Amino acid sequence: DNNSKLDEPIPVDLFVKIDGDEVIKLNALLMRRNSRFIGAESSDKDDIIKLLKQLQAAKKKIIVGIQGKGGESRQSYSGDVINSTGAVSKFVKACKINL
């Protein structure tokens, strides 16, 4: 199984850029959620709040980069931000997060 390395959390640097905003770097753990999805977990509260604010105001595009802590592996993904405003609003309400 090519994804067996994701059975244990992998420490990574997670870079997120939304529209023309500054890049936000998070210290994160990458882990497999199930056979089709992976997730990242971070405790960088201030940067997560900044990221949620940017995502709530997003108009065009998000780019996410993942780099192993040793710099050995890099991947990036991009996508549109359709419905991000509503999704962030629901998320922060459900999690009782003040933006």
Q: What is the pLDDT of residues 23-46, one digit of tens each?
A: 999 999 999 988 898 899 999 999
pLDDT band (50, 70, 90) for residue 2? low
Q: Where are the domains of the chain?
A: 4-94
Give the pairing of strands 74-80 and 61-68.
antiparallel
* SS3 assignment, position 9: coil
Tell me the whole-structure pTM to 2 decimals: 0.83
Mean pLDDT over the full length of the chain: 91
- Mean pLDDT, residues 72-96: 93
- Mean pLDDT, residues 7-12: 89
* pLDDT, greater one: 34 or 63: 63
Q: Which residues of 80-97 are buried (b: 16+ CB within 10 A; e: fewer)?
A: ebeebeeebeeebeeeee
